[in-house]
Each structure stands twice: as structure tokens, then as C-alpha cells.
Structure 1
């Protein structure tokens, strides 16, 4: 039995890690090409706008993972009608949140840019990038939602293919729009916005050929409130996991601007974009185990659930060793990739920052895996607590206190200190 479980684990996790690496190329490509075209100010603008992108992505994951995990449990119990209700209610939530982001971007992006801390030097660049991203929010949300359901419908390879195709197209379009077409920051944002549209085109044949086992149905008004609440309860942890990156960026940008100005923010932009790639690896691991744990939990196979959790934690440790080894020994090279102007001050901040910031790796992995585990067994409260601690209640005071005491070094240490504290808490909650 363990051979079958390990085979399924390897299949789902590898597909999802590859897909998430590809998805992280959205921000990698934008950062690389904008750095090459615009320089330090472009990096600063991207980093100021990224928190909103994280909120959009987090919202899509909240509805997608929250709904699809419940769908998977119901499907394993052969409750098809209720499972379809979950899909239908989830799609209605997507339309609601997509409308909010779209109209906010259309009418209020300038106010958001002011709140995010852009000065006159980078205001217009930041506003252009942010507005385009928010206008494409419906595509980002729907893409996340559909990929989660396709993955939980037993087709992780298609979900991965959609992510990789969308991300590869982003890299190609970034280059075309920024250099041959000279579209600057607008081109970077437009390429990123088109990527989820292309991803959904990859998924389209799955629905046209009617291979999916989830369908739209007439909403049950009696059950709608409870179903929606269940989707959101299970979806809050992945939302906060994704939003935590945005919160970290926003909070650190605000503090760094006061300590070292735009160059410090540009240095943090390098760390942020690498952080998004690192977190995507752990996210891929967690999204890979979620359908398997949900299915086995729904079928009452407790032993398989514990086996999957053990495989996940071991994989997380191995990932952390590899990731931190690469970062520690290659920090100068990683920084130089995004430092096209060879700014020595930026490098002096970013190189030691990378080595300190990513000591958080093992604790990030454990926290994300344990949070997903609780969601998958329909026990969302511990996952919500873990996510809230990581995103707000520990991180914010830690950042203020350590930056006040140690300046930029304190900024870099705030994140690993937070993840360590939350990890110690998470250990007490594991059933």
C-alpha cells in the first residue's frame, strides 16, 4: 500500500512543484526585464506593487483551495450533488472578488499607490503596473480557481501544463513587449496579465470534452451560506500564506524607505522575488499533498493520511537544505542577475540580506505543510491561527522591534524569527 501512496505522492508533488516554479516566473521575468530596461527605479516600482499582486493571487487560492479541498472530500464520499454546489458557490465568489479588484484598479489605483508608499520618482511607473494587474484580476482569480479544481479532479499533470504554459508565455511576451516593442513597464504588466488567459486556454479542452466531474448547478439557497462559509474557512490559510508575502513586502518597504530609501527597497525587491520562488516550492509541495490527504481523509484512511504527512515533512527538510545551500554559496551571483546597473550600495544590502533572510527556509516549509494538512482534513482553525501569526500578529511587532534595534540587519532577521516562533506553536497543534 505504501508503494502506491508514495507513487501518488511523488506524482502530485512533482507536478505541482514544477507548476509553482513556473508560476513564480511571472514575477521573476518581470523583475529581470524591468531591471534591465528601467534599473533601480523599476525594481522599486515592482516591489511596491507586488503586495497587491500577492493579495490577488491569495484570493484566487483561497477560493480555489478552499473549494476544491471540500469538493475532493465530498467526491470521495460519492456526494456529487453537494460537490457541484461547492464548485458553483466557489465560482460565484470568484466573480464577486474579481469585480472588486477590477473596479478598484479602474477607479482607485492612484490612491493605492500612495498608500503603498511610492514617492514622486516612482509614482507613475508603479501606478501603470498596478492598474494593469488589477484590470486582469478576473483572469488571475478564475485561473487559480479552475487549476485547483482540475488538480483535485485527478488531473495534476494538466494543471501543471497550464501553469507552465502561462508562465513561459509571460517570459516570451515580457521580452517582446519591453524590448522590440519598447512598451516599458506597461509591457511587463500586460504580459503578466495575458499569462493566466493563456493558462485557461490550455485547460479549455478538458471542459469542452466534458472530462471534468465538477459542474455548474442551480445554487441551493438554503445551503449556500454554509457552503460559502466552509470554502472561506478552508481557504483563509492559503490566502494568508500568499498574502503574507504581500504583507512582508508592504511592511518591509515602509520600514526600509525610512532607513535606506529607494535603493534599500530595490535591494529588498531582489530578496522578495527570490522569496516568491522559494515559497512557490513549498506551496507546490503543499498543493500536491492536499488532494491526496483530502481523499484519504474523506475515505477514512487515517494511516495513509499520516504517511502522506510524514513524506511531506521529510521532503520539506530536503528542499530547505538544497535551497539554503544555493542561496548561501551563490548570493552575489543571484543579486547580480537583478542588479543591471551594478549598484554597489544595492549589492551591499542584498547579499548579506539573502543569507540572513532565508535562514527561515526550514520553518517556512513546516508551517506551510502543517497548515495545508489541517485544511485537508477539514480542520481549518489551527491552519488559520498559523497563517494569521505568520502574516500579522508575530511578523509586524518582530519587524518593528528588530529594525529599531539592528537597522537593516534587523529587517532581514524579522522573517526567520517569525517563522521559527510560529513553527514552535504549530508543533503543539499537530494531532
Structure 2
């Protein structure tokens, strides 16, 4: 894999840069998605379908805390990319040091009450009935490792902002391989059940953290901070917060959606329907990896060139990213549309003797999941416009538009739809809320993105 330095972001052809940035990001996201996907498959086959629902209940809580690190990482990385583009290395170093301090303080502060109020948190996110006990086991163990996951997410975004996507990709591959190996060892060989799944996940976070720590301490990183860079500076923290709040708000909305969805689906169809949603969620994480990879690869390119006032390159990066990602989204939709049954069967326990309750749950999942997948992925061909459009405003440091556009899809449109349509159309109302929200958010984002492109064109002509 060819190396990319920070200065290459402002000089190499956009198409070539996008490939260099997007492929490692896509591979990294693919591997992380495979981690969640295969982890769920292992748990489903070796523990049972209720265990998949239990993990689905825990994910929004642990991911929200970890997303604090991602928010700090993306917010700070936008500053770092623009600082490097503007040849201001001291600001980049101070930003990175402040990111480390904020991530440690905030995530540890969130984990402690998360562990204290575990018995209240799990039921509120849909961990009811037979789901509660396995969810509590998984939640308690995984939360110990979440601060390390947050540091990994923060550091990974900084690595990408330096223009070194290959190392970022490796950082995402390591915990995946570790988790899958530990899953097999702890669940299948040592028969530790949900405890095994939880410890496999937590130990994989530690592996990732060790690698990222090595990267920044080695010669590979250009960001060599000292103790003074760790001291929070109000203006840096404020800028990190304003930009990172976009990512945090998005994850907060995702957590709220999990809460609403798990409770609505449990009321509509019990544990089996929650398991269907868990499968849909895993597929959303998995098959959209190339679209998300292109979006991640686009961020440092747009941010650097905007900071360097190379507006023609910024515009070119937007156009090429959207066209490529929309084409990939179309392919994803076609695959899901024609073979949803094959994906559904991957998650279901087939070895050993199944109890009557397990047989009934599996039959319900097989009957409902394929149609749910088709409906949820219906707007995939156009989703890249919304993702890249919202990411662009974040890359150039415009926090308010980035926040509003990021929230438009899941917050402003999806949550109202999910509260209204199931009351009219039942289960179908749940699943059609996804493409309707995607379509509406894409229209809104396209309008504001087009307006911003016209503004940068004027800036280009004025230079």
C-alpha cells in the first residue's frame, strides 16, 4: 500500500488520493464490521438467538461512551488536517494532546455511573424478559474496556488526519482478528457463553490500544507531543467540542433509536423481533463498509485542501466521492434485495438440539428478517449524498450545518417516523421508516451542499 504524507493531500490527483485514503478506510471498516457480524454469528450459533438480542441491547450504551472518543477524534482531526494544510504544526500538536486528555477524563467519568446503574439501564434499552440476564453479563464486562475503545477511535482518526491510512487500517484489523480468535477460544472451546463473548470483545480493545500507542511513540507519527500539549486550552477544547459534537450527537441519536426500536419491536413481537432488528443492524454495519470508507477517506482530503484554499480540489473531491459511493451503494442494494435469506440464516443456531422455544424464535426470524432487510436498504443507492454532504461541513470546520445535516436523517426524520408509522402499519411501518428518512435527508443535504459548493466557487474566483 502506497504511503501518503500530509502534504500529498494537497498535491496528488484527487482520484488517486481518494483511492489511497478510501481503500484502507474501507478495509478497516470492513474488518471492524466483520468483527461485529461474525461475533454475532458465533454468539447466535453457539449461545442462541436471544444472545444476539442481548448484545443489541448493550451496543447503544457501550458505543455511545466509545463514541465520545470518536467525537473527540473526528472533531480534533478536522482541526489537525486544516492546521497541517495551513502549516501550523504547533496547533496540530496542542489539539492532539488535548484530545488525549479529554478522551480519558470523559469516558472514565461515563463508565463509572454506567456500571452503578446497570440494572436500570439495560431494561430501558429493551433488555427485558429472557434478554435481561445475558445482556447484563455482556454489558458489565464490555464496559471495562470501553475507555480503551474510545482512545482507539480517537487515535485512529488522528492517524488518518496525518495522511497515514495504512496504519489506521491495521489498527482496525488487529482487534477484529483478536476478537474472532478469542470468540472461538472462549465461547466454543472453553464454553464460557456470554462471558466469553464479552471478554473476547474487551481484550480485543486492549490489543487495538496497544498498537495505536506504539504508532504514536514510534517514528511513524509526525505528532510528537510533550506534557504541555496535554494541558487543556479553552479555544482548542471549544473547537474540538463544537466539531466533535456532530459525531456525538449522531451517536446519541443512534442510542435513542436503539432504545425506541428495541422497545417498540419487543411490544410488537417479543424477543424474536428484537433479534430481527439485531440482524438488520449488523447488516447495516457490514455491507455499507465501502460507502463509509469513501466518506472517511474523503474527510482529510477535503479538510486539508480547504485549509490550503485549494477550492477546485475541494469541489473535485466532493464530486468524485459522491459518484463512486452512490455506485457502490447501488451494488449493495442489489445484493441485499436478491439474497436476504442467505444473510439471515448465518445468524441462526443450527448445531445441536434446539428447544421448542428456540425453534419458534428461529422460524419467526426466518419469516420476517428478509423482507425487513429489503425495505431497510431500499434507499442505499442515494445514501452517499447525505453521508458525504454532512461530512464535508464537518471537514471544513462548519459545526452547525454539519450537526443539523447529520441529525436530519436519524433525528429529524427517522425518530418521528418510527413513532408514527408502526401505529398505522405495524411491523412494516418500522422498516419503511428507514428508506423514507434516508430519502428526505438526502434531499435536504443535497440542497445545502450545492449552496456551499457555489460559495466556494466564488472564493476560488476571488483568489
> Does the TM-score normalized on the shorter chain lie above 0.5?
yes
Match of 1:169 in 2: 178
- Counterparts of 1:281-296 in structure 2, within 5 Å, are 281-296=290-305
Q: Structure 1 residue 270 and structure 2 residue 289: aligned?
A: no
CA distance in 2, matches of 1:130, 1:280: 26
Match of 1:203 in 2: 212
Q: Structure 1 residue 218 and structure 2 residue 231: aligned?
A: no
CA distance in 2, matches of 1:204, 1:123: 36
Tell me the TM-score normalized by structure 1. 0.95
Work out whether residues 25 and 171 of structure 1, in 8 Å CA contact, stay in contact via their aligned partners in 2: no
User: Structure 1 residue aligned with 2:118, among 85, 109, 113?
Assistant: 109
Tell me the TM-score normalized by structure 2. 0.88
CA distance in 1, matches of 2:113, 2:39: 23
User: Structure 2 residue aligned with 1:338, among 331, 342, 347?
Assistant: 347
- Equivalent residue of 2:339, what SS? helix
Single out whichever of 230-239 and 30-39 deviates more from structure 2.
230-239
Q: Looking at CA atoms only, which structure, 1 or 2, has the larger radius of gyration?
A: 2
- Equivalent residue of 1:129, what SS? helix
Match of 1:393 in 2: 412
Q: How far 1:208 sits from its partner (Å)? A: 3.2
User: Structure 2 residue aligned with 1:382, among 401, 424, 449?
Assistant: 401
Q: How far 1:104 sits from its partner (Å)? A: 2.6
* CA RMSD of superposed structures (Å): 1.9
Measured at CA, do residues 187 and 236 of structure 1 come closer, stay the same or move farther in structure 2, by a change above 3 Å?
same
CA distance in 2, matches of 1:80, 1:387: 29
Q: How far 1:220 sits from its partner (Å)? A: 8.8
CA distance in 1, matches of 2:253, 2:295: 16
CA distance in 1, matches of 2:248, 2:327: 25
Match of 1:411 in 2: 430
Measured at CA, do residues 202 and 329 of structure 1 come closer, stay the same or move farther in structure 2, by a change above 3 Å?
same
Q: Structure 1 residue 144 and structure 2 residue 163: aligned?
A: no
User: Structure 2 residue aligned with 1:402, among 415, 418, 421?
Assistant: 421
Match of 2:460 in 1: none
CA distance in 2, matches of 1:350, 1:62: 32
CA distance in 2, matches of 1:217, 1:300: 32
Structure 2 residue runs of 5 or longer lacking an equivalent are: 1-9, 351-358, 453-463
Q: How far 1:93 sits from its partner (Å)? A: 1.2
Measured at CA, do residues 50 and 220 of structure 1 come closer, stay the same or move farther in structure 2, by a change above 3 Å?
closer
- Equivalent residue of 1:9, what SS? helix
- The C-alpha deviation readout for 1:368-392, integer Å capped at 9, x for no partner, is 1111111111112211001222232
Q: Structure 1 residue 25 and structure 2 residue 34: aligned?
A: yes
Q: How far 1:410 sits from its partner (Å)? A: 0.6
CA distance in 2, matches of 1:30, 1:275: 15
- Counterparts of 1:9-48 in structure 2, within 5 Å, are 9-48=18-57
Single out whichever of 412-421 and 227-236 deviates more from structure 2.
227-236
Structure 1 residue runs of 5 or longer lacking an equivalent are: none
Work out whether residues 98 and 230 of structure 2, in 8 Å CA contact, stay in contact via their aligned partners in 1: no
Work out whether residues 236 and 384 of structure 1, in 8 Å CA contact, stay in contact via their aligned partners in 2: yes
Match of 2:89 in 1: 80
Measured at CA, do residues 323 and 57 of structure 1 come closer, stay the same or move farther in structure 2, by a change above 3 Å?
farther
